Structure 1
C-alpha cells in the first residue's frame, strides 16, 4: 500500500478519534487485562511481555545469514569481523577482539527529535547474530504507562558488548538514559559497552558526494538499499499517537518495518565501511580511498595511511593531488624528507589546476625541509619567494603573523646564501 493510501486511511481516525472497526481483544488468564488486536499482533510475530498488570509488546523476526540487504549479504558482516581480527589495522571501528555475535545493532523510534524528559521512546529495536541467523527484536510501548515492562524486557534479554548505531551517541542512547531515570528502581541498570557510531563515519566518507548523510540517503546512494512503500520517519510520532488512541496496530506495523530496515541497514553499513577501511572494497573510488587514508592519518596510524594514499598518487585529479599532500606530511613525520619534498614539488606543478591553498602550503613545507633538512638553500629561497607571491588574494593574506614568518624566512635564507650581510 502506498504512503498516500496509508495516510488516507488514517485521516478519518485522526479527525474523529474513532475507528470503523470494533477492537478485537484477548483476555490473558493471569492478569485480566485485555490486549486489543492481540490476534493481529500474533500474526506479525508479536507477543506480550508482562510485569504485574502492565505489558509491552515484543516483535521478533529472523533472517538467514545468507540474506542480502543492499549490496551485501549478512554473511559478509561475519567476513568483515573476521577480517578485522586477522588484520593489524587499528581503527575506532575495528571489531578486533570481538566475535560477530558481540555487535549489537540498535535503533529507536521516539515521539520527537528533541531531547529531554518530554520525548518518549516507543520502539527499542536491535539485531544480533545467533548461529546462522540474524535475530531482530523490537520492544514496543503500547501506551505511556508501560515503560517498566518496556525497559525490563529490553535490559534483561540482550548482551550489549558493543553497540552499533547511527547517531546513537548523540541521540538514541542519551534518550534511553533519560527515560531510564523514570523507571530505574524497577528495571536493571544500564550496561557499560563499546559504541560504534556509523553516522560520523558516513559523514567523513561521503559528505563530498551526498547533500545530506541521513541513513535513508546513505542506504540508497551508497549501500544499494531500496525501500518499498516505506513510511517516512517524521510521520512515526503521529502514527504512534493514533495507535495509542485507537489501539489498531495497522499504522504501527509500518513503523516497525521502517525501524527494521534501519537496523538491517546498520549491518550492511558496518560491513561496507569495514571493507573500505580494510582496503577490501574493489569498487572503492579514488575519493573514498583518499578519505580512508586521511582518516588513518588523523589517527596517527601512519602505515595504514601510507598504504591507502600511495595507491592513488599517480595522476593529476583532485583526489591524486590531495592524496599527495597528506602523504607528504606522513613522509615528513617519518623523516623521509626527500620523498616528502618530491611530492610537494609534484603539487607545485599543478599550480592553477587545484586549490591555491594546497599549492601555497606545498611551497612553504618544501622550503622548510630544503632549508633545515636537505640543505638546498637556493631552492628553498626560490620556493619561499613563490609562496609569498601566491599568498596574495588568499585567506592567508589576512594573517600578519604568517606574512611575517615568510618574510623572515626569506631574509634568513638570503643571509645564509650570502646575498645579505
Structure 2
C-alpha cells in the first residue's frame, strides 16, 4: 500500500481538507528521510567517523534538539557518533494505588508455577521483572524494509512500581544508536508480552536490526506472549473489533481521554522530522505509554478468567472459548470445568457449552454423560443443533445399539442441513456423510 492510500485511510483521524497537498508534503519528508538514511549507510560502509563528518552548525542543531527532548524527559543516548533518546518513567505503587497489580501478577505466576499446564499464556519460571509489556510505533503498517520503527516502549513491574521505558529514534541517521540503546537494555531471559507483536512489532524489529547488525549486539532469543490471539479467541464474537482501545474500554474499563490514535503516528513523525520539534510526538509518546501499561491489565484480566479468578462476570462464550483452549493444550480437567460453567447460562449461551462438554465427555469415555449433554444441547438450542444430532446418532448406533433411534437422529440432522440456506462446502460434505450413514442404518433396519 502506498503512502497516499495510507493517508486516505487515516483521513478520518486527521480531518484533512487538502489531502493532495498534505500527501505531497509527507512524500517530500519521506524522501528526505530516505536520503538521510542512505547517506549514513554509505558513511558507515566506508568507515567514516560520523561525529567528525558533522559540521559545527549540525552539532549546534543537535544540542538544541537535545534540550527540546529533555523537556519531555527524554535524554540522549550516544553511540558511534549518533544520538537516540530514552525516557524512564516510574508509576509508583504508593502514589498511584497500583499495588494490586503486582499482587495480581504474583498470584497468577504462582498458579502457573504450581501447575503442570503447557499454555501460551503461562509465565512459569519467568521472574516478573523480566516480563516486558512491549509495543512499537512505526512510520507505516507494512512489514517491509521501507517501514521504520521510531519508538519502542515497554513496561516492567518492579518492586516499587511500573517502569515504562521508551526508546526514540530522533533522526533516521541514528538508527544504530536507537537499536543499540534498546538491545543494551534487553536481556536473553526477558519475556515479551505484546499485542500483535509476533506478526508485526517483532518482525519490524528484526527487519530494522538487519540494517545495523554489524554495529549492534545480535537479537537475543526470548519467550513471547501475544495477547491479541487471546483477545480474539475470547471476544471476537462479542466485540465489534479486537483493537486494543476497544478491548480496553469494553473489558478493562479503561477510557482514554484526548488520546492520539496510533494511526496518526506516521504523519506526526514526518512533521517532527520536518520541524525538529518533539512536541509533535508528545501525544504518540503518551499513547504508547498507555498501550504498554494496558497490556499489564489485559494479561491479568485474561489470566484471571482462565483460572476462574476474575472479578468481572464472565460470559458463556468466554467459558466456551477458554474451555476449547485448555482442551487443545491437553488440560482436560480445566476445559471440563469451563464447559460446565458455560452450561449455567441462558438458552442462547448454554447450548454450545453443552455440546462442547458432550464432545469432551465422550473423549474421556463417559458416553452416557456425553449423551445427556447432547440431549441438553438440543433442548437449549433455538434451532436443531446438527452436530449434536450426529453425535447422538453415533452413540445410538455404536454404544446403545439402537439402529432405529440412530436413523431418527441422522434423518433429523439431514433435514436440518437441507433446510439451511447456506450449503457451503463443509455443509455439503456433512450432508454426504449423513446420507452414507442413513443408507447403512436403513440396511441394518
Is the structural similarity TM-score above 0.5?
Answer: yes
Larger relative helix fraction? 2
TM-score (norm 2): 0.81
Tell me the residue number matched to 2:388.
Answer: 362
1:243-263 per-residue CA deviation (whole Å, 9 max, x = no partner) reads 122222112122111110011
For residues 400 and 107 of structure 1, do their structure 2 counterparts lie closer, same or farther at Cα, with a shift above 3 Å needed? closer
Tell me, yes or no, if the aligned pair for 2:348 and 2:380 is still in contact at 8 Å.
no
Q: Alpha-carbon deviations, 1:57-115, whole Å to 9, x = none?
A: 00110112467699973542333223322334432111122221221111111111112
Q: Tell me, in whole angstroms, the C-alpha distance in 2 between the residues paired with 1:184 and 1:107.
A: 21
Secondary structure at 2:133 match in 1: strand
| More deviation, 288-297/211-220 | 288-297
2:402 is aligned to 376
Taking the TM superposition and a 5 Å limit, the aligned residue runs for 1:8-87 are 34-65=62-93, 73-87=101-115
Q: Distance in 1 between matches of 2:315 and 2:361?
A: 23
What is the aligned-residue RMSD (CA, Å)?
2.9
Quick check: 2:316–2:343 contact (8 Å CA) kept in 1?
Answer: no
Look up the match of 1:103: 131
| In structure 1, C-alpha distance between the alignment counterparts of 2:370 and 2:281, rounded to whole Å | 59
Q: CA deviation at 1:294?
A: 2.2
Corresponding position: 1:290 with 2:320: yes
Aligned to 1:3: none
Distance change (3 Å), C-alpha of 1:110 and 1:71: farther
State the alpha-carbon separation in 1 of the partners of residues 168 and 258 from structure 2: 21
Quote the offset at 1:32 in angstroms.
Answer: 5.3
What secondary structure is seen at the aligned counterpart in 2 of 1:226? Answer: coil
Number of aligned residue pairs: 392
Structure 1 residues 69 and 232, CA, compared in 2 at 3 Å: closer, same or farther?
Answer: farther
Three-state SS of the structure 1 residue aligned to 2:84 is strand
Q: 1:169 aligns with which of 182, 195, 198?
A: 198
Q: Is contact 1:66–1:74 with CA below 8 Å preserved after alignment?
A: no
Residues in 1 aligned to 2:155 and 2:409: alpha-carbon distance in whole angstroms: 57
Mapped contact 1:167–1:200 kept (Cα < 8 A): yes
Stretch of structure 1 that moved more, 36-45 or 335-344: 36-45
Task: Name the SS for the 2:317 alignment partner.
Answer: helix
Say if 2:244 is the partner of 1:215: yes
Q: After the TM superposition, which of the residue ranges 208-217 and 70-79 deviates more from structure 2?
A: 70-79
Counterpart Cα distance in 1 of 2:246 and 2:63: 37
- Alpha-carbon shift at residue 289 of structure 1 (Å): 1.6
Q: Deviations over 1:360-386 (max 9, x none)?
A: 211111111121123233322322232
| Unpaired stretches in structure 2, ≥5 consecutive residues | 1-13, 17-21, 29-57
Contact 1:56 1:146 in 2 (8 A): yes
Task: Describe the shift of the 1:252–1:314 C-alpha distance in structure 2 as closer, same or farther (beyond 3 A).
Answer: closer
- 5 Å-filtered alignment, 1:132-281, equals 132-159=160-187, 161-281=190-310
5+ residue gaps in structure 1? 1-5, 9-13, 18-30
CA contact 1:128–1:134 (8 Å) conserved in 2: yes
Instruction: Provide the C-alpha distance between the structure 1 equivalents of 2:95 and 2:109, rounded to a whole number of angstroms.
Output: 17
Instruction: Indicate conservation of the 8 Å contact 2:411/2:438, yes or no.
Output: yes
